[in-house]
Amino acid sequence: MNQQITPAEAAAALTRAATARVVSAADVRALTAYLVGLGAGVAGVLAGSWWMLSHENVVGFAAVMGGYGLVLALLIGIQRRARSTPRGFKRIYMWGFGATMALYVIGVMWFSFTRPGPSAAAFLPYSLLVALPAWIAAMLVRRAAR
Amino acid sequence: MTAGQHARFRLDEVIHAPVRFSIVAALAQADEAEFAAVRDVVQVSDSTLSKQVTILEAAGYVTVKKGYVGKRPRTWLRLSSVGRDALDEHLSALRAIAEGRPAGDPMTREQALAMRGSYAIDVLPPDVSPVDHA
């Protein structure tokens, strides 16, 4: 191949490449909102389940799970608005979501298999900790899109 | 590249076409992007984008995935690792040409110092405004 190209044309092409952006601010907002909401939702369902089951309120527990289902449906709707994902999104998402879900499972096992169950002073901060990986993932997605 | 050969010989024939270059450059920033998002960024018609993506797909540079979001059909585009490597090589050749190192020689210390800071602005010759290419 023998392409004729001047230094100015090469520089212009490099500038075009450096400024090409398919990931929009709206895409990043949708993806970060999804991750922040997911973390909050999982933390909420863990704390709610613990509270309802420790008070033997099965109806309340069902309401918590139903509410989580609705929140999840809403979040998926928000996430689908994103028309593109920044480079590294899948890896960041898998890490954040995976870690949050792993902490959730540990939390469920904690209040299910320990007698007496955990105190509110211990379990509510732990529920917040469950949300943390998803929230960190949201920050990393925002940074990846810069 | 053979020593002393002009950097233009390293330019990728598939990527060098302006529309395909824009598509590949846009996809390089993303994991994947919807067909419509790329169309809007590159500012071409559906049929033009479709034709250029077919060429990129045949070269193994772009992968195309079709699916649905709800009931709406969607097409997602992704730059393959082969495409990413080809773009890197193409950009390297462009840099060598823009920096006045057509044979791909290493930069002199003076050239390296002149290149510090924002590349896209610094490489422009004095008679070219960066605004013209934004």
Helix H or strand E segment including A109: helix A89-113
* pLDDT computed for residue B110 by the predictor: 55
A10/B98 CB distance under 8 A: yes
User: ipTM higher than 0.90?
Assistant: no
pLDDT tens digits along A33-73: 999 999 999 999 999 999 999 999 999 999 999 999 999 99
As a whole number of angstroms, the distance between CA A108 and CA A126 comes to 11
| Residue of B1, B18, B8 whose CA lies nearest to B94 | B8
* CB-based contacts of A57, cutoff 8 Å, min separation 6: none
B128 touches chain A (CB under 8 A): yes
Give the burial string for A66-93 (b: 16+ CB within 10 Å, else e).
eebeebeeebeeebeebbbbbbebeebb
B41/A20 CB distance under 8 A: yes
Distance from CA of B68 to the nearest CA of A (A): 11
| Residue of A107, A112, A131 whose CA lies nearest to A44 | A131
Of B21, B34, B100, the CB nearest to A13: B21
Residue A18, pLDDT above cutoff 90: no
Residue of A nearest to B72 (CA): A80
As a whole number of angstroms, the distance between CA A52 and CA A58 comes to 7
A59 touches chain B (CB under 8 A): no
A10/B130 CB distance under 8 A: no
| CB A15 within 8 Å of CB B124 | yes
Q: Average model confidence (pLDDT) for chain A?
A: 94
As a whole number of angstroms, the distance between CA A32 and CA A38 comes to 10
* pLDDT computed for residue A130 by the predictor: 98
Residue A142, pLDDT above cutoff 60: yes
First to last CA, chain B: 31
* pLDDT computed for residue B118 by the predictor: 39
A86/B30 CB distance under 8 A: yes
Contacts of B2 in chain A (CB under 8 A): none
As a whole number of angstroms, the distance between CA B91 and CA B33 comes to 21
| CB B5 within 8 Å of CB B60 | no
Tokens of B126: 């004095």
Reduced to 3 DSSP states, what percent helix, strand and coil does chain B have, rounded to the nearest 5? Answer: 55, 15, 30
B29/A87 CB distance under 8 A: yes
Decide: residue A113, CB within 10 A, 0-12 exposed, 13-18 middle, 19+ buried.
exposed
Distance from CA of B57 to the nearest CA of A (A): 19
| Residue of A104, A99, A117 whose CA lies nearest to A68 | A104
Could you read off the pLDDT tens digit of each residue along chain B, which spans 134 residues? 455 677 777 899 999 999 999 999 999 999 999 999 999 999 999 999 999 999 999 999 999 999 988 888 999 999 999 999 999 999 999 999 998 876 655 555 555 455 444 344 344 444 444 443 33
A15/B134 CB distance under 8 A: yes
pLDDT tens digits along B69-85: 888 899 999 999 999 99
* pLDDT computed for residue A140 by the predictor: 97
| CB B122 within 8 Å of CB B114 | yes
| Count of Cβ atoms closer than 10 Å to residue A141 Cβ | 23
A25 touches chain B (CB under 8 A): no
* pLDDT computed for residue B105 by the predictor: 55
Instruction: Give me the percent of chain A exceeding a pLDDT of 90.
Output: 86
Between residues A142 and A145, the one the model is more confident about: A142
Of A8, A21, A22, the CB nearest to B125: A8
